[in-house]
Each structure stands twice: as C-alpha cells, then as structure tokens.
Amino acid sequence: MGMATPIYVLWVLLSGLGAAFGNFLPDTHALGFDYLLPIYFLGLVIGFRKRPLWLPIVLVSGIASVIAYKYVGSPWHVSLGAAAGIALAAIMAPTVDPTPGDPPADEIGEGP
C-alpha cells in the first residue's frame, strides 16, 4: 500500500488534469501523441526479453490483441491481448517444489 498509494493518487490527479486541459492541444496526431501508447508497451515488452519463455507469451498477446481489435474494437484489444498473454504465462509457468529439502512425492515410500 505504501508504494501503490502515491502512484494511484498521481495517476488520478494527472488523469484529471488531462481530462480538464486535454482539449487545449490542437491536433494530437500532428504532435505524434498517437505513438505514445505503442512505444510505452514496446518498452514493457523489451523489459521482458530476459525472462524465460517470453517470446511465445508476447506473440500470443500480440496476435490476440490484433484479433480483438478486428472483432471487438478499441480499447478492449489491449486488455484482451494482455489477458491472453497472462493466461499463456500461467499455463507455461514452471512448477516449483514447495519444500526444497524434501524429496519429491513420487520418491517417498516404504523402505526396502
């Protein structure tokens, strides 16, 4: 909560400022603001490239986003693409032994 609260408060305040004063910008496409969201997401994706199995997750997310954009429309394609990537990451998640010092369950048994 200590880290999330300042971020949330600033997000709400700056969103309010954008809603109040955003109409003062003459042409956002001419200024290049329509490229900010894709560049932001590209920066996030580049940060994931050192993680294992990042490429299939990014590809599924991107493909799902394009399909959702075609059939559902904007802005839902962003959330649906992210949900597809998260679902694949959950499916592909490596299993972790809960107690590293204990033998696996299939090796536990009666003595010889």
What CA–CA distance (Å, rounded) separates 65 from 88?
Answer: 14
The stretch 71-81 carries a mean pLDDT of 91
| Segments making up each domain of the chain, as ranges | 52-94
- Return the ∠ at Cα 90 (arms to 84 and 6), rounded to 5°: 80
Q: How far is CA 75 from CA 51, 63, 82, 87, 91, in A?
A: 27, 15, 12, 19, 26
pLDDT tens per residue across span 15-63: 999 999 988 888 878 888 778 878 887 888 888 888 888 899 999 999 9
Question: Does residue 104 surpass a pLDDT of 80?
Answer: no
DSSP-derived letter for residue 24 is: G
Q: Which residue has the higher pLDDT, 80 or 27?
A: 80
Q: Give the pTM.
A: 0.57
Number of Cβ atoms within 10 Å of the Cβ of 66: 12
Mean pLDDT across the stretch 92-109?
64
Q: Across residues 69-85, what is the average pLDDT?
A: 92
Q: Mean of the per-residue pLDDT values for the chain?
A: 84
